[in-house]
Amino acid sequence: MTQTARNTLNMRIRPEDRALFDWAAEAQGKTRTDFILEAARKAAEEALLDRTLVQVDPDTFQRFQALLDAPPDPGERLKRTMQTPAPWD
């Protein structure tokens, strides 16, 4: 089995934070390192996904914008639901 190379990352943290990380890691059956790495990786991915840029040509953008601006089609189920009296009425 081949091991993946790893680098060291040193951090200064408050004792109460370390205790919280240890407690949470233990609750999930993980090491502190694995717990913190997983949480940091998720946070990094979310931060980057929030900044994802999608580029499209002007025609595609106009069609997309028109779809967003158009009123939704209520459909039969929603119409039926909205016409049904509430049980508390």
Domain range annotation of the chain: 14-68
Percent of residues in the chain assigned helix, strand, coil, to nearest 5: 60, 0, 40
Instruction: Mark the ranges of the chain whose per-residue pLDDT is less than 50.
Output: none
Cα 32 from Cα 11, distance rounded (Å): 13
**pLDDT of 52:** 80
Q: What is the distance between the alpha carbons of residues 10 and 75, in angstroms, rounded to a whole number?
A: 56
List CB contacts of 74: < 8 A, sequence separation 6 or more: 82
* pLDDT (0 to 100) of residue 12: 95
What is the reported pLDDT for 41? 97
Burial 12-39 (b: 16+ CB within 10 A, else e): eeeeeeeeebeeebeeeeeeeeebbeee
Q: What is the pLDDT of residue 51?
A: 87
Query: What is the per-residue pLDDT for 1?
Result: 58
